[in-house]
Amino acid sequence: MTIFVAQHARRANPEATAAAVLDDLDSRVSDDASFVVLPENAFTTGDQVRALPQQLRERCLERLTALARTRGAYVLTGSWPEQRPDGELTQVARLLDPSGSVCAQMERPILPDGTTGTGDDFPVVQTPYGRVGVLLGPDFWLVEPPRIQCLAGAELLLVAGSLDGTQQAAQRAAVWGIATINTVAVAFAGSLSERCGGGSAVAMPEGFAAEAGTREGIIEAPWDAANIQHLREPDLRFQQTLWFGLWARRTELYSDLTAQVS
Amino acid sequence: MRVAVVQTQWVDDHEDGLRNAHQAIEDVCSAGDIDLVCFPEFLLGPPWYMPGQDGLKGRTDTPIPGPVVDGFQTLARKLGTHILLGSIVEDLQDGMYRNTSLLIGRQGVITGRAIKAHAFGNEMVVCRQADSLGVMSTEFGQIGIAVCSDFWIPEVIRLLALAGARTIFVPGGTLGQNQPLMVNALRTAAYLNDVNIVYASSVGVVRGKRGDRLVEIHFAGTSLVARPEGVIAQAGSDKPEVLVVDLDEPAPGDGRRWQQLRRPGAYQKLLTPYAGQNRDLAAELRASLTGGQGPHRGPAAAATSATEGTRP
């Protein structure tokens, strides 16, 4: 079982970017794939906020659906802007199951500065390869959404993300750090653009299993949910201690995290 | 704020440990204006409830107030510095204990107290835990203290940061096998929450029996100071050391930008337990302390010697 994560530079237009990304996925993703992850703004720059043209959108979704079916993999499509009936632009990401059906969909508002907003739903999907949480955009960089998914049992977080902060070395390291403090695996996809510094990676609690850095391409890492399940099982000999952060919680102390005004 | 992080070494005689702590304060303050001296957890030495440490009962634990704390208060007053006693095992005089961190002000008065809220190992059986988490107002602004394993519950640093703490002190102890991931986890917590993190750890080995097994607990130092952008000072792993750093409140960075996007109404599930939680660990530990055998995970450790951790 293998996780594949795509990281590509933006071309002159979404059509060219989509062609580069999808061709690369077709040639690189093997039948061993269990998960394929694309980034936030998978084919758009994120700088020009307009909907992905419908024809291109349908073509991208069609090819990603075919990828899911032919490889028997779950594919997080990454996100792109779509126009809602009321005219509002929304970032949409879909998780396709191996039959090509959408098994989770995330929608997030596009903020006035063109960046993606946060949301209220943090889906966790049971798969034959373990329980996975799906995240889009900045929800990943908040402490709470990944935590909620891990508390619900997610063993792997699939992140359609962007490394778009102002402290990118720290942000890159935080992909692993978030895996550690939640005892979870993270498959983070980011893109390369003026604003986004790549950072695609597969991180386990103990360290990075694969890192793209700022290189274009598709990275891969082996996946076995049993590794996370093992780390989460309490070891009262305390030779292994990463289970503690999930088991020792005292929920009565955390109500301020849900207070409307923090 | 000029902070001195004192990485201590546990010694066989706890009286020497106390003298060493006093000496470290005198030394670092004589070398320059230190606003705050920060010690690790269990600065007096290992607690009696660690494996093989029963003989330390009544030695490395102490009532608060009491002569041990009085001595540090006198030093703080004499040197005009704050002292953060990373933690002391507080004897509650009723058969129970607390893992207590104290902040002593320049005038020698105890100005802050943080009690470990998430008990680790045998603390689940013999210690009372904090019933709240809060920040402290100081002349340096709001600060927080997360006592050792409290750090490993990410909700704690988050709560302290949202309550206004811009520097969070983490008195702890580093396990050798966790060293790299611990450094990165501290750095990540600083970044995501836009805070400084001051981490103080001890160096040393504790040996003793748990049941019929000889265990060793290796503490690997690695005290550090992290700002949101990264680690700015880090000690080694095998000897006493002092880090001196000047810390300003971090300017608003990525963490605070994202915090503005929080949707707390959607986070109610933080108030529910982990879905996989299906064992009563305190009961298992209680059974093991009284000679029963709790369930073990994984292959059996070597019969005569094993390395055992005490905290994440």
CATH at A12: 3.60.110.10
CA A222, distance to chain mean position in Å, is: 16
Q: Which residue has the higher pLDDT, B169 or B177?
A: B169
Residue range A134-177, pLDDT digits in tens: 999 999 999 999 999 999 999 999 999 999 999 999 999 999 99
With bands split at pLDDT 50, 70 and 90, how would you rate the model's confidence at A261?
low
With bands split at pLDDT 50, 70 and 90, how would you rate the model's confidence at B308?
very low
**What are the domain boundaries of chain B?**
2-307
Residue range B25-84, pLDDT digits in tens: 999 999 889 999 999 999 998 999 888 888 889 888 999 999 999 999 999 999 999 999
CA B171, B175, B179 angle in degrees (round to 5)?
A: 90
Residue range A70-124, pLDDT digits in tens: 999 999 999 999 999 998 999 999 999 999 999 999 999 999 988 999 999 999 9
Residue B296 has pLDDT above 60, yes or no: no
**DSSP 3-state assignment of B14?**
helix
Domain with A92 in it: 2-258
Q: Which residues 39-68 on chain B approach chain A with CB closer than 8 angstroms?
A: none
| CB contact at 8 A, B28 and B6 | yes
pLDDT of residue B210: 66
- Let me know if A169 is exposed, middle or buried by CB neighbors in 10 A (0-12, 13-18, 19+): middle
Highest mean pLDDT among A80-89, B137-146, B212-221: B137-146
The pair phi, psi for residue B225, each rounded to 5°, is -125, 125
pLDDT of residue A47: 65
% of chain B exceeding 90 in pLDDT: 74
Instruction: Write out chain A residues lying below 8 Å of B258, CB-based.
Output: 138, 141-142
> Is A245 within 8 Å of B310 when comparing Cβ atoms?
no
Is the bond preceding residue A146 a cis peptide, omega within 30 degrees? no
Average pLDDT over chain B, rounded to whole? 90
With bands split at pLDDT 50, 70 and 90, how would you rate the model's confidence at B186?
very high
Residue A258 has pLDDT above 50, yes or no: yes
Residues in chain A: 262
| CB contact at 8 A, B221 and B201 | yes
Instruction: Write out chain B residues lying below 8 Å of A251, CB-based.
Output: 270-273
Residue A51 has pLDDT above 50, yes or no: yes
Task: Name the amino acid, one letter, at B109.
Answer: V
> Is A169 within 8 Å of B229 when comparing Cβ atoms?
yes
CA A148, distance to chain mean position in Å, is: 15
Q: Nearest C-alpha of chain A: how many angstroms from B79?
A: 37
Residue range A207-237, pLDDT digits in tens: 999 999 999 999 999 999 999 999 999 988 7
Q: Are strands A102-109 and A89-96 parallel, antiparallel or unpaired?
A: antiparallel
- Let me know if B246 is exposed, middle or buried by CB neighbors in 10 A (0-12, 13-18, 19+): exposed
Assigned superfamily of B2-307: Carbon-nitrogen hydrolase (3.60.110.10)
Instruction: Write out chain A residues lying below 8 Å of B155, CB-based.
Output: 143, 147, 249, 253-254, 257
Interhelix angle B14-30/B67-79, rounded to 10 degrees, is: 10
CB count in 10 Å sphere of residue A117: 17
> Is B193 within 8 Å of A148 when comparing Cβ atoms?
no
> For residue B138, what are its two tokens?
């100081």
With bands split at pLDDT 50, 70 and 90, how would you rate the model's confidence at A132?
very high
CA B33, distance to chain mean position in Å, is: 25
pLDDT of residue B182: 97
Choose among B68, B6, B48: nearest CA to B202. B6
| CB contact at 8 A, B113 and B101 | yes
Kindly indicate whether the ipTM for this predicted assembly is greater than 0.95, answering yes or no.
Answer: yes
CA B107, distance to chain mean position in Å, is: 24
> For residue B99, what are its two tokens?
């893992």
pLDDT of residue B289: 72
Residue to test with chain B: of A150, A238, A242, most B Cβ within 10 A: A238
pLDDT of residue B241: 96
**DSSP 3-state assignment of B247?**
coil
Q: Which residue has the higher pLDDT, A190 or B13?
A: A190
The pair phi, psi for residue A165, each rounded to 5°, is -80, 180
Distance, in Å, from the CA atom of B112 to the CA atom of B38, rounded to the nearest integer, reads 13
pLDDT of residue A96: 98
Residue B307 has pLDDT above 60, yes or no: no
Residue B211 has pLDDT above 80, yes or no: no
What's this model's pTM, rounded to 2 decimal places? 0.94
CB count in 10 Å sphere of residue A166: 11
> Is A241 within 8 Å of B175 when comparing Cβ atoms?
yes
pLDDT of residue B11: 86
Residue to test with chain A: of B149, B181, B187, B279, most A Cβ within 10 A: B181
**DSSP 3-state assignment of B278?**
coil
Chain B residue closest in CA terms to A140:
B258
- Let me know if A227 is exposed, middle or buried by CB neighbors in 10 A (0-12, 13-18, 19+): middle
Report CA-CA distances (Å) from B201 to A237, B9, B79, B116: 21, 9, 23, 16
Chain A residue closest in CA terms to B257:
A165
The pair phi, psi for residue B176, each rounded to 5°, is -55, -45
pLDDT of residue B194: 98
> Is A258 within 8 Å of B307 when comparing Cβ atoms?
no
